[in-house]
Amino acid sequence: MSSMLRIGAIEAGGTKMVLAIGNAEGSIFEREVLPTEEPEKVVPKIIKWFQKRDIFALGVGAFGPTGVNPKLSTYGKILATPKRAWEGYDFLQALSDGLHVPIGFDTDVNAACLGEATYGAAKELDNVVYLTVGTGIGAGVLVNGELLHGMLHPEAGHVPIEKEQDDSLDSVCPYHESCLEGLASGPSIQKRWGLSAVELAEKDEVWDLESTYLAKALAIYVLTYSPQRIILGGGVMNQRQLFPLIRKKLLTILNGYISTSEIQNVNQYVVESGCKGDQGILGALALGVRSLTEKI
């Protein structure tokens, strides 16, 4: 595709909207950040910003849960969310009515996964899991080159995880007593230890427990999604000491049962983002590019 075609991208988060203009090669020319106000306020601003910039297509990675299946009436809508003004809002329709270009729409984490697979740490790979470990935990999953949707979309941040015996934390997940997000998200670390994750950087026991929970979840992803690579991002993964711990524990849990060359080369199997924090917006760009190629 011509690198001259200008593609729009939106990383729609619960607190901010990142807008960008880029091209199919993953170059970003211009960006804007807007606070996520109620849709009636922020969406007209978004539309105006892109209208001035003459885009050929748009990609959107949206906070979820959100409708990602084009065959369903929920497609492009924001579903259950604590941000009440957004609940049920037809984001895709509003953007489409304002901009009249092809639009690729997916979850924020599926977009980030595609960003890594297109421009980052999983280039040339068709089967990839991207996990963000931040305020929440969420996974984007690429299977045979397509982002996994299924009935809704994966919610693999909430996989049930057995709590360690000496861990007395009450899960921070309102739904689950013992899920990954409830036990291993940034807020769960803060609640358990009484300090923010960044303040606990030197405390080995914090990262020992954190890596145990993350390795348990990664084992589930290896065994169910069969990814060729797993990429870990989000604020908590700034604690780089987690990576060797997670790799070692993942191998221990798998215990030789999966012995592919990828797993044997575990340092290249569980890796950090290759997009340096831009995986979300680059993934949205890639969704925009895909919407064009799919149309042709």
Chain residues in the site for ligand ADP (CB under 6 A): 132, 134-136, 186-187, 196-198, 234-236, 238-239
Q: How far is the CB of 3 from ligand ADP (least distance, A)?
A: 30
Rounded CA-CA distance 85/72 in Å is 22
Rounded Cα distance, 105 and 224, in Å: 25
Instruction: State yes or no: cis peptide before 65, omega within 30 of 0.
Output: yes
Q: Does 161 bind Zn ion (CB under 5 A)?
A: no
Q: In this complex, which beta carbon is closest to ligand ADP, that of residue 48 or of residue 203?
A: 203
The first and second tokens of residue 186, run together, are 């940034």
Query: How far is 269 from 229, CA to CA, in rounded Å?
Result: 5
| Rounded (5°) CA angle 133-60-214 | 15
| Residue 65 interaction partner, one of ligand ADP, Zn ion, none, beta carbon < 5-8 Å per kind | none
Between 50 and 86, CB nearer to ligand ADP:
86
- Interface residue with Zn ion among 31, 83, 176, 191 (CB under 5 A) is 176
3-class state of residue 14 by DSSP: coil
Question: Out of Zn ion, ligand ADP, none, which partner does residue 235 contact, by CB within 5 to 8 A per kind?
Answer: ligand ADP
245 binds, among Zn ion, ligand ADP, none (CB under 5 to 8 A by kind): none
Q: Taking the complex as a whole, how short is the minimal distance between the CB of residue 7 and Zn ion, in angstroms? A: 35
d(CA 106, CA 62): 6
Q: How far apart are CA 256 and CA 138, in angstroms?
A: 27
Window contacting Zn ion (CB under 5 A); options: 65-73, 75-83, 158-166, 267-275? 158-166
Give the DSSP per-residue string, 159-223: -B-PPPTT-----S-SS-SSBHHHHHSHHHHHHHHSS-GGGGTT-HHHHHHHHHHHHHHHHHHHH
217 interacts with Zn ion by CB under 5 A: no
Place of tokens 């929970």: 213
Q: According to CB under 5 A, which one of 77, 149, 153, 158 is a site residue for Zn ion? A: 158
Of 101, 46, 57, 34, the closest CA to residue 286 belongs to: 57
Region of 9-17, 82-90, 139-147, 176-184 interacting with Zn ion (CB under 5 A): 176-184
Residue nearer to Zn ion on the CB measure, 149 or 158? 158
Please say which residue, 43 or 197, places its beta carbon nearer to ligand ADP: 197
Q: Which is nearer to ligand ADP, 64 or 102 (CB)?
A: 64
Query: In this complex, which beta carbon is closest to ligand ADP, that of residue 230 or of residue 289?
Result: 230
Summarize as ranges the residues that interact with Zn ion (CB under 5 A).
158, 173, 175-176, 179, 181-182
